[in-house]
């Protein structure tokens, strides 16, 4: 009795409060993100959000390539590293300002995407994944190679890059950087979303679904795969540039496997193939990682009188892999899409409510079970 009342109360609440079209929801999401710095957060928390924004850009670009075009890439870190290193090298050797180096770095990223794409996209499926995985490993060893230390700076990378807003005091700098990455995230996600849902995006999905059939439709697969690779690489490079200037350093870890797997984890968290999924996933990932695992967990351990082992840092990837495994089994379509599906269900239920007798609804519920 009480349970049914509660359920009815919840469903009427849900139907009235969540009665928001998706476009408005996306707008609200960005609005909330815009207000966050005004709440007077600690700079540390703000920097979590900043890096979450960068990862969101990076993961959204991966999602276009893999979730929409079906070209599985396990080496997206290559664009991240190329972005970071090319802006750093341009600064180091030519002393160019940030707003000149980033566009040039984007061009470098695009041409790298074409160069890598041509040989890579000849192979399919798991073979493509393996081939793409090799490229960041090659570049990783090149930038670490000691005879080239005077160019790439070896293990330590290229340090002392200019910050975006060096003229501001440190606290305002964080807020300004937050807004900057926010704007980039907004623009990039809108562009990627528009591309993914354009007529070209339809062709991308057709390649994901059936390559033979899209050939039979007269589609030049190489052209469209390359297009997807270049767009994806462009925004991946942008994320790398931003990261380099935020951390003020470009170092070999940018080419590491962690940066290839981060977008995968984030995209699966949010929902692959949605483009908005990775955005949600990136925030969840960073808040889990940098807040709960870095701040709260040690505190908890201290409370119980135990210390976290130093190796815990390396176990994080394992933890996230486990989370992703559980998610893939439980919610294969990701958190963001799970939510939108729920909203659609509510809408449908309301439609039935308006159009038909209650018995329909009861019948429908039975059918679902």
State whether residue 307 is helix, strand or coil.
coil
- Residue 215 is a binding residue for another protein (CB under 8 A): yes
Give the Cβ contact number of residue 224 at 10 Å.
Answer: 18
Q: Which lies closer to another protein via its Cβ, residue 87 or residue 206?
A: 206
Q: Which lies closer to another protein via its Cβ, residue 112 or residue 203?
A: 203
Where b means 16+ CB within 10 Å and e means fewer, 128-140 reads: bbebbbebbbebb
Where b means 16+ CB within 10 Å and e means fewer, 79-99 reads: bbbbbbbbbbbbbbeeeeebe
Q: Which lies closer to another protein via its Cβ, residue 16 or residue 124?
A: 124
- Residue 200 is a binding residue for another protein (CB under 8 A): yes
- Residue 368 is a binding residue for another protein (CB under 8 A): no
Q: Among the candidate windows 22-30, 123-131, 206-214, 280-288, which touches another protein by CB under 8 A?
A: 206-214
From 80, 43, 73, 33, select the one nearest 58 (Cα to Cα). Answer: 80
In terms of Cβ atoms closer than 10 Å to its own Cβ (0-12, 13-18, 19+), residue 217 is: exposed
Q: Which lies closer to another protein via its Cβ, residue 211 or residue 353?
A: 211
Which of 95, 147, 218, 305 binds another protein (CB under 8 A)? It is 218
Which of 106, 175, 203, 226 binds another protein (CB under 8 A)? It is 203
Residue 35 neighbours by CB under 8 Å, 6+ apart: none
State whether residue 159 is helix, strand or coil.
strand
Strand partners, 158: 250
CB of 208 to another protein, least distance (A): 7
- Residue 122 is a binding residue for another protein (CB under 8 A): no
Q: Which lies closer to another protein via its Cβ, residue 260 or residue 274?
A: 274
Q: Which lies closer to another protein via its Cβ, residue 135 or residue 224?
A: 224
> Considering Cα of 243, then 244, then 248, then 249, what sign does the dihedral take?
positive
Q: Among the candidate windows 16-24, 151-159, 219-227, 231-239, which touches another protein by CB under 8 A?
A: 219-227
CB of 31 to another protein, least distance (A): 31
State whether residue 250 is helix, strand or coil.
strand
CB of 207 to another protein, least distance (A): 9
Structure tokens at 75: 């080496």
Which of 100, 217, 306, 326 binds another protein (CB under 8 A)? It is 217
> Which positions from 267 to 286 touch another protein by CB under 8 A, shown as an x/- string?
------x-------------
Residues 13, 93: Cα–Cα separation, whole Å = 61
CB of 66 to another protein, least distance (A): 14
- Residue 212 is a binding residue for another protein (CB under 8 A): yes
Q: Which lies closer to another protein via its Cβ, residue 214 or residue 243?
A: 214
DSSP letters spanning 314-356: HHHHHHHHHHHHHHHHH-TTHHHHHHHHHHHHHHHHHHHHHHS
- Residue 230 is a binding residue for another protein (CB under 8 A): no
C-alpha pair distances (Å), 343 with each of 30, 331, 334, 347: 19, 16, 14, 6
- Residue 28 is a binding residue for another protein (CB under 8 A): no
CB of 204 to another protein, least distance (A): 10
Q: Among the candidate windows 182-190, 208-216, 244-252, 257-265, which touches another protein by CB under 8 A?
A: 208-216
- Residue 71 is a binding residue for another protein (CB under 8 A): no
- Residue 206 is a binding residue for another protein (CB under 8 A): yes
Residues 251, 81: Cα–Cα separation, whole Å = 8
Would you say 45 and 71 are in contact if contact means Cβ atoms under 8 Å apart? Answer: no
CB of 200 to another protein, least distance (A): 7
Which of 14, 26, 205, 349 binds another protein (CB under 8 A)? It is 205
Size of the site for another protein (CB under 8 A): 20
Residues forming contacts to another protein in the complex (CB under 8 A) are: 199-200, 202-203, 205-206, 208-210, 212-221, 273
């Amino acid at each position: 009795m009480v349970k049914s009342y509660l359920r009815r109360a919840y469903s009427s609440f849900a139907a009235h409060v969540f009665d928001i079209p998706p476009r408005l929801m996306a707008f609200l999401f960005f609005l909330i993100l815009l207000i966050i710095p005004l709440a007077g957060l600690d700079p540390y928390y703000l920097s979590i959000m900043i890096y979450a924004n960068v990862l969101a850009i990076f993961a959204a670009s991966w999602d276009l390539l893999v979730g929409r075009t079906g070209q599985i890439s396990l080496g997206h870190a290559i664009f991240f590293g190329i972005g970071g290193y090319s802006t750093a090298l341009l600064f180091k050797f030519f002393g160019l300002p940030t707003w000149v180096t980033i566009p040039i770095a984007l061009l470098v990223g695009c041409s790298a995407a074409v160069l890598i794409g041509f040989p890579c996209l000849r192979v399919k499926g798991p073979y493509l994944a393996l081939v793409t995985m090799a490229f960041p490993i090659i570049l990783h060893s090149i930038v670490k190679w000691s005879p080239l230390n005077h160019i790439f700076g070896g293990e330590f990378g290229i340090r002392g890059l200019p910050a975006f807003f060096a003229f501001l005091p440190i606290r305002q700098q964080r807020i300004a950087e937050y807004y900057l990455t926010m704007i980039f995230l907004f623009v990039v996600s809108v562009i990627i979303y528009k591309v993914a849902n354009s007529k070209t995006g339809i062709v991308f999905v057709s390649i994901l679904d059936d390559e033979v059939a899209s050939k039979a439709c007269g589609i030049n697969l190489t052209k469209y795969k390359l297009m997807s690779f270049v767009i994806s690489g462009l925004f991946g490079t942008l994320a790398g540039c931003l990261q380099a200037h935020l951390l003020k350093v470009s170092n070999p870890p940018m080419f590491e496997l962690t940066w290839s797997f981060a977008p995968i984890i984030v995209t699966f968290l949010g929902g692959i193939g949605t483009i908005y999924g990775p955005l949600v996933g990136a925030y969840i990932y960073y808040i889990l990682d940098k807040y709960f695992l870095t701040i709260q967990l040690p505190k908890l351990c201290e409370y119980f009188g135990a210390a976290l082992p130093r190796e815990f840092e390396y176990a994080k990837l394992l933890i996230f892999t486990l989370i992703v495994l559980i998610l893939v089994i439980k919610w294969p379509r990701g958190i963001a899409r799970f939510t939108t599906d729920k909203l659609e269900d509510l809408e449908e239920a309301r439609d039935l409510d308006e159009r038909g007798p209650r018995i329909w609804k009861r019948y429908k519920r039975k059918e679902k079970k």
